[in-house]
Amino acid sequence: MNDMNCTVCHELIHGYLDNELDTAMATQVAEHLAACADCQRLHDEARMLIAGVKAHAPYYPAPDALTQGVMSKTKSRAPSARRFWDLLRDAPQQWLMPAFSAAALAIALALYVATPSSEQPWMDEAVSSHVRSLMADHLNDIASSDRHTVKPWFTGKLDFSPPVFDYSVQGFPLLGGRLDYLQHQNAAALSYGRAKHIINLFILPTSAADKPREHLAIRGYNIVAWQRDHMRFIVVSDLEKSELEAFSQLVEKGPI
C-alpha cells in the first residue's frame, strides 16, 4: 500500500497504460490499483477504450495521387539553383536510373490517369493555387482595383503582358493581382470579387491552338478554361457555374 490518492492516480493511469512512467512511479500505480477497486475500474475502462480506438477508429492514408503529386512537385521546386546543380553533379550513377524509372512510371501513370483530358493537371493546380491564395492570406501581391496600377505591376515580372481589365460595372470588381506558377510556368493571377466570392483568373502564354471555353468542376470548385491568341485562361471560383460563365464571357470578349 502507498499513499497515492485517487485523483493523482486517475491521471497517472494514462502514463501507466502508455508505458511513459518511470519504474518507481509505475510500481506505485500498480500497488494503488491493486488496492483500489475504483481506480482499477477506470484503468480497465481506459485500456478498453484505447484498444477500441486503435482497432476501430478509421485511419486515413494519403491518397496515392497526392503523395506522387507532392513528391514530383517538390522535386521541380528545388529552393535554389545551387541545390539543383549539386544534385546534377553528384547525380549520374545512383540517381539517373531511379529517376529514369520514376519518369517512365510517371508517364505511364499520366497516360493512364489523364486520358480523359490532358488539361487535368493544369486545372488541378489552378484549383490548388486558388485555395492556397485564400488560405494563406496571399491573394494579391498588388491590391488595387485600378487596372492602370495592376497591369504595369506585372511589367518586368513576366515575359508577357496579361490583359487586365476591371469589370466593376458588370459586378465583378478587380481586386488585384499576383505572380503565380502553374505547371512550372509563370502566370499572372488576377483576383476578382463577386459578392462574398473570390474569382482567380490565371493567364499565361501557350503555344497551343485556340480552344473554346470548357467547364469543369474539381473538388467542389468551378472552373472555366479556354485558349485564345496564344494565351491560356483558367478561371477558378466557388461561384455558381452560370455566373462564372458570365464572367468568363466578359474576359474572353474583353472590355466593351
Stretch that binds another protein, among 64-72, 154-162, 176-184, 240-248 (CB under 8 A): 64-72
What part of residues 110-169 is at the interface with another protein (CB under 8 A)?
A: 128, 131-132, 134-136
Is residue 63 near another protein by the rule CB under 8 A?
yes
> Cβ–Cβ contacts within 10 Å for residue 154, how many?
21
Of 132 and 148, nearer to another protein (C-beta) is 132
Residue from 61, 92, 212, 254 touching another protein (CB under 8 A): that is 61
Is residue 92 near another protein by the rule CB under 8 A?
no
In angstroms, the CA 247 to CA 229 distance is 19
Is residue 13 near another protein by the rule CB under 8 A?
yes
Q: CB within 8 A of 32, min separation 6: which ones?
A: 2, 4, 9, 39
Taking a C-beta distance cutoff of 8 angstroms, is the pair 41, 6 a contact? no
Q: Under DSSP, is residue 185 helix (H, G, I), strand (E, B) or coil?
A: strand
Is residue 69 near another protein by the rule CB under 8 A?
yes
Q: Which cell goes with 187?
A: 502566370
Is residue 12 near another protein by the rule CB under 8 A?
yes
Report how far apart, in Å, the C-alpha atoms of 224 and of each of 114, 121, 152 are. Answer: 18, 14, 26
Q: Applying CB under 8 A, which residues contact another protein?
A: 10-15, 18, 20, 41-42, 45-46, 48-63, 66-67, 69-71, 73-75, 77-79, 83, 87, 95, 128, 131-132, 134-136, 219-220
